[in-house]
Amino acid sequence: MALNPQVSSADDVVEAMNLSTVQGRSLWADARARFFRNKAAMFAFFLLIALIIFSLFGGYLSDYDRETVDFSLIGANAYKGVPSFETGHFFGTDASGRDLYARVVQGTRISIMVGIVGAIVAVVVGTLYGATAGYFGGRLDGVMMRTVDVLMSIPFMFVLIIMLVVFGRSILMLFIGIALISWFDMSRIARGQTLSIKNKEFVEVAHAIGVHPLKIILRHIVPNLAGIVVVYATLLVPQLIIFESFISFLGLGVQEPNTSLGALISEGAANMSNGTPWQLTYPLIFFVLTIFAFFFVGDGLRDALDPKDR
């Protein structure tokens, strides 16, 4: 009788060791640990959080809004609007006498919104489209993917410009246009991954017991695409921000009185001859920091979720 407590205790120890071993091999737990050990990714992650907080609440630190014009600091006197904490113009003023700090706050917010919203739409539409094509296969797969090939052959820049000209150059149309042309690559990635997943035992069992194909796609296929979807979305955001900045640089993006980092960079570059370098410097700094943060976070997630490194 005296040995029973020892046996029970030993069994508990073995069970606890087995449980900890199973938990240690969890995909997401292992990926999280790898991501936390990546110093560059963690620095970029906290930088990204700081930029988002700045874009949401940074305007409360200034006494000026993005639209108020100081008529004494425009035109030939624009060089007088230098950055100064005494005047309250932390980043100076732009060529129209508006507070550049407030405009950088809004520009950062809109640029991040464009990237995140576009990436979310691209991931949702592309994943569902590609998973459906890959799961059903056959003729449906051929038609769906050939449709994607045809759409990808159309110059997306031309399509977006036509949309903005025809339907108006608003933030909403910019969101819609970027979202509509950014899901093609995700659909091909999701379709390729689905082709390998649909032959797994758990998918075949679900099909054998009569689970509806739509439920199989949503409950079994899509969740197993989460890793690559997260990585792709994180890397897609900076690409969309760069694309939006290019559109705004051409004057076809965000329109006044709103602004984005691309529009501010365009304005700053056009006014460099006026001796106002701060009009280009500050928007460019925040643009580079935003792109840097998203790229390094995405790179860290890719390394953390890479099965070859586990």
19, part of any domain: no
Handedness of CA 130, 226, 121, 237 (dihedral sign): negative
More confident residue, 275 or 21: 275
Query: Is residue 105 very low, low, confident or very high in pLDDT (cuts 50, 70, 90)?
Result: very high
Handedness of CA 225, 230, 231, 234 (dihedral sign): positive
- Looking at residue 23, its pLDDT comes to 47
18, part of any domain: no
Token representation of residue 121: 């739409």
CA distance 222 to 231: 14
Q: Tell me: pLDDT of 4 over 50.
A: no
Percentage of the chain modeled with pLDDT above 70: 85
List the beta bridge partners of residue 99: 93
- Looking at residue 308, its pLDDT comes to 53
Could you give the angle at the alpha carbon of 278 between the alpha carbons of 242 and 114, nearest 5°? 25
49, part of any domain: yes
Handedness of CA 97, 243, 51, 176 (dihedral sign): positive
Residues 62-80: pLDDT tens digits? 888 877 777 666 655 555 6
CA distance 75 to 77: 5
Read off the pTM: 0.76
Where residue 284 sits, what CATH number does that domain have? 1.10.3720.10
12, part of any domain: no
- Looking at residue 307, its pLDDT comes to 53
242, part of any domain: yes
What is the count of structural domains for the chain?
1
34, part of any domain: yes
- Looking at residue 228, its pLDDT comes to 81
Residues 239-277: pLDDT tens digits? 888 888 777 777 777 777 778 888 888 888 877 777 778
Q: List the end-to-end C-alpha distance of the chain, in Å, as a whole number.
A: 45
1, part of any domain: no
Domain of residue 171, residue span: 27-309
17, part of any domain: no
Alpha carbon distances (Å) from 212 to 147, 216, 276: 25, 6, 63
More confident residue, 7 or 124: 124
More confident residue, 164 or 217: 217
Q: Tell me: pLDDT of 6 over 50.
A: no
